[in-house]
Each structure stands twice: as structure tokens, then as C-alpha cells.
């Protein structure tokens, strides 16, 4: 038996025995001698009876009470052990404060988060705590807790021992003791990583990562807000849409890392320029090489014009990127609220239209949106839709042929195939109105296939009717030259229609060569190996014409009409033409002059020893039947050996 229980039993027995003795003494005092004689035996019996009857009950109750008390103490001790384990091993940082807010304890997690040891934490005074925590905010919540108010979860930033800042959510839990607050537990959960992840997500949604400027979404939000204020205050606002000129060529030629570096420089220059002019303005990168500027409050149109001029002047100076000295221009479109639109979408669309107009008008300039541009955009969209439909149907396109004539003999020696579009409602659409559109929307290759099939069918028809044929030149675009297996597909079409390669020539513009010189050079090599003649068309329009000649294997060089139309009056044009003819003949190429419209043009070309010419002086583009008739008027010994059976 437990010693504590035994001691209790002895004490109780003694108390009971003493009670019996007092009982006997009281009897003696009351009843005198009779008590001893008459009741001594009865008293002894009564005493034994009390001990036998009541002691087990009393002792049993005492034993139960002591055992229950022991059990409760064990539970309390277990709870204390568990709480201590929870305190020490908790994933949240926990500190214990006295009722005045003085630090008493902290768990290991708080030590890891803050960098302070338990001793350093206990030694902190008011100033040290204020330095570690956002004390004003945190102390306010502590004051609420001290006053007995319910304090919800709140955030503070904690400055660690090594100077870093951690974000924490806090809960203050009072410690109640004897109906009084004996201190506070402050449970802190580190949410720094969560907040940083949220910040990264926010930046991804609102900030352009490359330039750190606003992105399109944020710019649009600012624009919508600015429009609301402009409407309330009856003020104007301006939107500038900026697109860099020639960036794609630079980016493809020097690599994306150089292109990204240039975009960063340009973005910084635009932002610095705008901040200097108007700190309330917003600059954004929309993606690629496109930027936008919001001028939220302007008095008149002169303000965005001034800004556009400053931007053009700011981004033009050369900058050093990855060892390259680079210089670039920009085309800027300006839209004004409410003239150019009354919504964010309409203003951005109007600014974009004006920007494209600036590119068409020479680049490195700005254009202000005018209502007439809306009609131009609508017309462009209509052309695109109708062009897609026409390519799908196929029978709205037809081919005309412009003869190419030998200057010495006057005979037709070849012809250029020119595609035409007969619109069911608009009639004949000029090539200048649909060829650039087809190139922009990626349909020029489909149109080229239609032209090639039409020419092959015509040559086969001439053969079936025993009509002499001349080689036909077919224009090939830059996008077609960039296609994989383009030459292979071209040759397959010739085989399918049984057309000899000698009766087909390809005409490639100089600008097309510039866009992908390596692929173009490989395609030219394959075409010439097949026996197909190669013309370089519109030579002289590009900016690196002479430098390309030594790398190309050609048959014909076509001089652009810009040098021919006034050759009889311009000594410079004549000198250029003469030089090109000499250079071509030195490389054993023949020369074709385009755009010959007068006898004077032709006479000068003959004097300069040009080989062939084409133009309205001899004939405009003709139908196949008209070309046959023209050939009869100017007889020629046609080479039929090129046909294949």
C-alpha cells in the first residue's frame, strides 16, 4: 500500500479511537459511577461496532478520493507535457508575453524565423521589440487584447537578426488564471513565401517582365479609369501606339538576346521621356516591339504631337547592346478622345490604324488618327474577307501576259504572267490593292499556286493546238521561297502538266531576296539545276543591290521602272542603267528594262546595249489569245523542243 494511504489510515484510526474515548469520558461525567459499572462493557462493544461498521466506509471513501486526485494530477501532468511538446515542436512561431507585453518565452520556430536566441529574446526591451516588429501596428492589437477585446488575425512584418524582412500573420491568445489574464500567447505563421508568390503572380499579370513597364492589361485598366474621369470633367486624353521600324530584321539577324536588350533600352528611354514630360502618364509594352503611352489629360492635339516628336528623338540615338552599336526608328499612331473613339478598345484600334498609316507613309514618323481611317480599315477588312473567299473558290483569278521583247529584233521572246482578280461586285481589282493584303494575311502562296496551274494549263493548251509558246515568267514571293519543299512542289506541278522547265521562268524581287537571302539563294540554285530561268525583278529598289550580285547565280536582271521612265532626261538614271547593264553582261546575264512607255526610253536603252524590254510602249498585259495574236504580228521562231510528252 502506498505510504501516503497508510499514514492517512493511521490518522483516521487514531481520530476514531480518540472519539470513542471522549464518548466514554463524557458518559462517566454525566452518569457518575453508574456509567462505569453499567455501561463500560456496552461502551466497549459500541466502540468496536463503530470501528467495524464505519471504518471500511470512511477508509473506502478516503481511498477513492485519493486515487481520483492522483488520476487528476496525472492527467494535468500529461496535459502539461503535451502542451509543452506542442509549444516546442509547433510549425508556427510562438512567443509568451506577460500581462504588460514583456517577452517571457519563445519556441524554437520563432528562433529560426527571427534569428534570435531565447536569451536574446528575453533580454529585449521596448526599443528592441519596436525595431524587430512593426511595433505601432502590433502594439495596437496588443492594447486591444490587454483591454479584453477580441483580436482577430492580423499581419506584421518582422525584421530578422540578419536584417531580412519576413511577413507574419499573428493571433493573440490570452492566458486566463483565476479569472485574470496572466499573459499572452502570440502565434505567428510565416507567410513570406506565400506573399512573394502572390507578388510574382501579380507582376506576371500586370508587369512586362522584360522591360518592367506596365503590360497591356494594366494599361487598358488605366485607360478605362482615365476615360471615366475625362468624361466627367469633359477633357481630352491621348493614346500613342508605338511600333519599332525594322525590329524583326534586327532580331532575326542578331539574335533574340540582342533584340531583348534593345527593347529594354527603348522601353527605358520612352519611360524616362514621358516621366520628364508628364508624371501622370502611363507607358506600357504591349508585346513584341509594340509600346503604348497614355496621356490622361490634355488641352489640345499639340500635346501628343509634342510627345510623339520627343519619343522619336529620344529612341533614335545609337545604343550599345551586347557589343553592337544599334539605332532604330519607330512609327507612332496618335488617337484623341473623344474624336478617335469613346472606349478603350476603339482608342487603341484608332491609334493602331494611325501607326500603320505612318509605316505606309515612310516610317520613323507619327500620324494622327482621322475618322477617314475608319473607312480605310473597313475597306481593308472587306478586301481580306473577299480575298479569302476568292482563294477558296479559285475561279475569280485569271492571268494576263506582258510580252518581253528583244530590243534588236523587235520579237517577243518571253512574257511575264500577271495575276488579276475579277471581283463579282467590284469588278477588276488592281493588283496593288490585293497583292500586299495577300502577303500580309498569308494567302500569296495560294494565289501563286493558282497562277502556276493556270500558266501550265495554258502552255499545255498551246501545245495541244500546235501553237508556238514562249517562256513564261512567274513571280515568286519571299514567303514562298521560305517554304520547305517549295521548289520540289513547283517541279511536281510542271511534271503533272507535262511542261518543260525551259518554258517556265521565275521572277524574284530584290526585296524578297533580302528577307531570307540564304533560303532564296538555295532555291535559285535548285531552280537553275532544273533548267528553269531565274529573273531578279525590280532591281534597284533595295538598299543593298550591288552587294548581293556577286552571291547570286542568275539568268536575267530586270531594271526597275524607276530608273527607266525618265532615262532620256536624267543623266543619273542613265548612268545607273548603263552601269547595271555593264555589270550584268560581265556576269553573262541578260538585262530586261521594265516600264518602257516611250520611243525615247527605248532608244536610250538600245544605245546602252540593253537586251530586252517590256512596257506599254510595246503592249500592256494581254490575255492568252491576245498574246497569240501579238506573236503573229511579230513572228518569232519558237523553240518547241522544251515540251515533254
Residues 151, 100 share a domain:
yes
**Last residue of some domain: 161, 195, 229?**
195
Residue 445 lies in a domain: no
Q: 592 and 614 in contact (C-beta within 8 Å)?
A: yes
- The pLDDT, as a whole number, for residue 639 is 33
Q: What is the pLDDT of residues 279-297, one digit of tens each?
A: 789 999 998 899 999 999 8
Residues 224, 320 share a domain:
yes
Which domain covers residue 304, as residue numbers?
207-369
Residues 83, 67 share a domain:
yes
At 117, is the secondary structure helix, strand, or coil? coil
Residues 408, 554 share a domain:
yes
Helix (H) or strand (E) holding 295: strand 290-298
Residue 288: Cβ within 10 Å count:
13
Q: What is the pLDDT of residues 518-559, one digit of tens each?
A: 788 888 889 999 999 999 887 766 544 555 666 677 889 999
Residues 179, 128 share a domain:
yes
Residue 620 predicted with pLDDT over 80: yes
Residues 256, 317 share a domain:
yes
Residue 346 lies in a domain: yes
**Last residue of some domain: 38, 53, 88?**
88
Q: What is the pLDDT of residues 87-108, one digit of tens each?
A: 888 888 988 888 777 888 888 9
The number of folded domains in the chain is 4
Residue 224 lies in a domain: yes
Residues 129, 17 share a domain:
no
Q: What is the pLDDT of residues 479-497, one digit of tens each?
A: 888 888 899 999 999 999 9
Residue 431 lies in a domain: no
Assigned C-alpha cell, 516: 531570307
β partners of residue 476: 508
Residues 123, 212 share a domain:
no
Residue 29 lies in a domain: yes
Residues 211, 191 share a domain:
no
**Last residue of some domain: 72, 88, 104?**
88
pLDDT band at 606 (very low <50, low <70, confident <90, very high): very high
Report the CATH number at residue 171: 3.30.450.20
Residues 244, 184 share a domain:
no
Pairing status of strand 412-423 against strand 397-406? antiparallel
Residue 395 lies in a domain: no
Report d(CA 360, CA 348) in Å as an integer.
18
Nearest partner of 46 among 62, 61, 35, 60, judged by Cα: 35
Residues 321, 294 share a domain:
yes
Report d(CA 283, CA 222) in Å as an integer.
10
Question: What pTM was computed for the model?
Answer: 0.50
Residues 213, 98 share a domain:
no
Residue 558 lies in a domain: yes
Residue 266 lies in a domain: yes
Amino acid at each position: 500500500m502506498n505510504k501516503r494511504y497508510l499514514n492517512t489510515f493511521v490518522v483516521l484510526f487514531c481520530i476514531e479511537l480518540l472519539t470513542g474515548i471522549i464518548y466514554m469520558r463524557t458518559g462517566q461525567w454525566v452518569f457518575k459511577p453508574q456509567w462505569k459499572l453499567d455501561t463500560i462493557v456496552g461502551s466497549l462493544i459500541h466502540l468496536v461496532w463503530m470501528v467495524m461498521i464505519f471504518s471500511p466506509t470512511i477508509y473506502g471513501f478516503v481511498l477513492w478520493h485519493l486515487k481520483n486526485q492522483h488520476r487528476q494530477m496525472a492527467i494535468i501532468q500529461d496535459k502539461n507535457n503535451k502542451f509543452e511538446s506542442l509549444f516546442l515542436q509547433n510549425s508556427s512561431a510562438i512567443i509568451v508575453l506577460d500581462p504588460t507585453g514583456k517577452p517571457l518565452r519563445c519556441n524554437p520556430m520563432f528562433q529560426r524565423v527571427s534569428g534570435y536566441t531565447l536569451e536574446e529574446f528575453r533580454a529585449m526591451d521596448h526599443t528592441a521589440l519596436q525595431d524587430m516588429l512593426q511595433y505601432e501596428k502590433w502594439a495596437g492589437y496588443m492594447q486591444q487584447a490587454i483591454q479584453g477585446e477580441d483580436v482577430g488575425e492580423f499581419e506584421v512584418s518582422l525584421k530578422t537578426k540578419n536584417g531580412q524582412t519576413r511577413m507574419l500573420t499573428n493571433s493573440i491568445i490570452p492566458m486566463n488564471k483565476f479569472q485574470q489574464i496572466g499573459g499572452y500567447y502570440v502565434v505567428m505563421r510565416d507567410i513570406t513565401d506565400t506573399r512573394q508568390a502572390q507578388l510574382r503572380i501579380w507582376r506576371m499579370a500586370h508587369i512586362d517582365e522584360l522591360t518592367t513597364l506596365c503590360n497591356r492589361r494594366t494599361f487598358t485598366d488605366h485607360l478605362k479609369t482615365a476615360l471615366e474621369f475625362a468624361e466627367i470633367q469633359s477633357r481630352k486624353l491621348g493614346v500613342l501606339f508605338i511600333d519599332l521600324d525594322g525590329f524583326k530584321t534586327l532580331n532575326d539577324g542578331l539574335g533574340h538576346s540582342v533584340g531583348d536588350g534593345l527593347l529594354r533600352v527603348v522601353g527605358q528611354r520612352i519611360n524616362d521621356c514621358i516621366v520628364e514630360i508628364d508624371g501622370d502618364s502611363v507607358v506600357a509594352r504591349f508585346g513584341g516591339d509594340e509600346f503604348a503611352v497614355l496621356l490622361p489629360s490634355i488641352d489640345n492635339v499639340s500635346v501628343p504631337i509634342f510627345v510623339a516628336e520627343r519619343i522619336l528623338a529620344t529612341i533614335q540615338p545609337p545604343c550599345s547592346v551586347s557589343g553592337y552599336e544599334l539605332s532604330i526608328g519607330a512609327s507612332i499612331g496618335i488617337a484623341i478622345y473623344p474624336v478617335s473613339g469613346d472606349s478603350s478598345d476603339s482608342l487603341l484600334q484608332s491609334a493602331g490604324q494611325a501607326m500603320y498609316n505612318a509605316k505606309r507613309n515612310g516610317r520613323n514618323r507619327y500620324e494622327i488618327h482621322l475618322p477617314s481611317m475608319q473607312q480605310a480599315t473597313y475597306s481593308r477588312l472587306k478586301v481580306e474577307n473577299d480575298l479569302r473567299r476568292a482563294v477558296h473558290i479559285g475561279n475569280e483569278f485569271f492571268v494576263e501576259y506582258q510580252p518581253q521583247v528583244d530590243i534588236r529584233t523587235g520579237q517577243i521572246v518571253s512574257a511575264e504572267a500577271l495575276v488579276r482578280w475579277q471581283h463579282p461586285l467590284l469588278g477588276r481589282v488592281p493588283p496593288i490593292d490585293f497583292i500586299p493584303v495577300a502577303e500580309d494575311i498569308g494567302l500569296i502562296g495560294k494565289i501563286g499556286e493558282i497562277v502556276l496551274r493556270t500558266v501550265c494549263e495554258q502552255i499545255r493548251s498551246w501545245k495541244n493546238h500546235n501553237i508556238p509558246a514562249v517562256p513564261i515568267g512567274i513571280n515568286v514571293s519571299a514567303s514562298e521561297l521560305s517554304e520547305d519543299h517549295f521548289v520540289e512542289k513547283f517541279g511536281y506541278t510542271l511534271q503533272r502538266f507535262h511542261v518543260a522547265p525551259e518554258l517556265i521562268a521565275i521572277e524574284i524581287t530584290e526585296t524578297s531576296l533580302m528577307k531570307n537571302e540564304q533560303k532564296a539563294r538555295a532555291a535559285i540554285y535548285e531552280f537553275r539545276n532544273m533548267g528553269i530561268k531565274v529573273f531578279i525583278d525590280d532591281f534597284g529598289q533595295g538598299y543593298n543591290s550591288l552587294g548581293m550580285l556577286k552571291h547570286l547565280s542568275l539568268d536575267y536582271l530586270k531594271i526597275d521602272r524607276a530608273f527607266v521612265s525618265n532615262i532620256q532626261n536624267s543623266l543619273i538614271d542613265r548612268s545607273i542603267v548603263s552601269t547595271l547593264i555593264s555589270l550584268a553582261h560581265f556576269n553573262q546575264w541578260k538585262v530586261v528594262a521594265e516600264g518602257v512607255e516611250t520611243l525615247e526610253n527605248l532608244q536610250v536603252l538600245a544605245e546602252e546595249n540593253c537586251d530586252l524590254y517590256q512596257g506599254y510602249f510595246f503592249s500592256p498585259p494581254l490575255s492568252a489569245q491576245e498574246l497569240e495574236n501579238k506573236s503573229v504580228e511579230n513572228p518569232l521562231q519558237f523553240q518547241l523542243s522544251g515540251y515533254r510528252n
